Structure 1
Amino acid sequence: MGKVKTILVSLVLFMYASVSFACEVCKSNQPKMLEDITHGQGPQGNVDYLITWSAAVLVAFTLFFSIKYLVKPKENRPGHIKNIVLE
């Protein structure tokens, strides 16, 4: 059973790898920095880069704070909403 599962996972990953990279036409239309990442047209101007980097920063902040509050939720403070509801 383990061998069949390994073969199936390998086959799926192999098939996904060919789909995940851009084709030759898309490579030539992409800017140098994003050349082999996606299909389709690349960013058309500075506003597109601004939107992309703003979204990346927002995702990074969200990830940081979600991990921070999952690790140390600080629910033992008297002003926490859980304590207000319980009282």
Structure 2
Amino acid sequence: MKNLVKILGLGLILVANFALACDACKLQQPKLTQGFTHGTGPDSKWDWVIVAVIALITIYTLIYSIKYIAKPGEKNKNHIKHSILN
């Protein structure tokens, strides 16, 4: 388990290093996204709408995934989750 955490942590660090913007891209970005992405920034207001909708969907699914992991609601003692939890 500890090895898996180390591998995931290393992978996250590597992805973060490659995902951050370079100096040339930082100058082309709007203030809100400066330093986070490569390229020029959003071209229109629709780009911001798309990003906002995707962010809302992501937050919604994150909340419900945590909710159903914490309290799945299955009461049957023969359910497969009990073989994993016990």
TM-score interval, smaller chain? 0.5 to 0.7
Give the AA of the match of 1:23: C
CA distance in 2, matches of 1:73, 1:47: 37
Structure 1 residue 29 displacement after superposition: 1.0
CA distance in 1, matches of 2:19, 2:56: 24
Q: Deviations over 1:17-60 (max 9, x none)?
A: 4x443222211111111111111121111100010011011010
Gaps of 5+ in 2: 1-8, 80-86
- 1:1-87 alignment, distance < 5 Å: 17=17, 19-76=18-75
TM-score of the two chains, using structure 1 as the length reference: 0.62
When the two chains are superposed, the root-mean-square deviation of aligned CA atoms in Å is: 2.7
TM-score of the two chains, using structure 2 as the length reference: 0.62
How many residue pairs match? The answer is: 66
CA distance in 1, matches of 2:21, 2:72: 42
Gaps of 5+ in 1: 1-8, 83-87
Give the AA of the match of 1:71: A
Determine which structure has more spread, i.e. the larger CA radius of gyration.
1
Structure 1 ranges of 4+ moved more than 6 A: none
CA distance in 1, matches of 2:72, 2:20: 40
Matched-pair identity in %: 36
Partner of 2:84: none
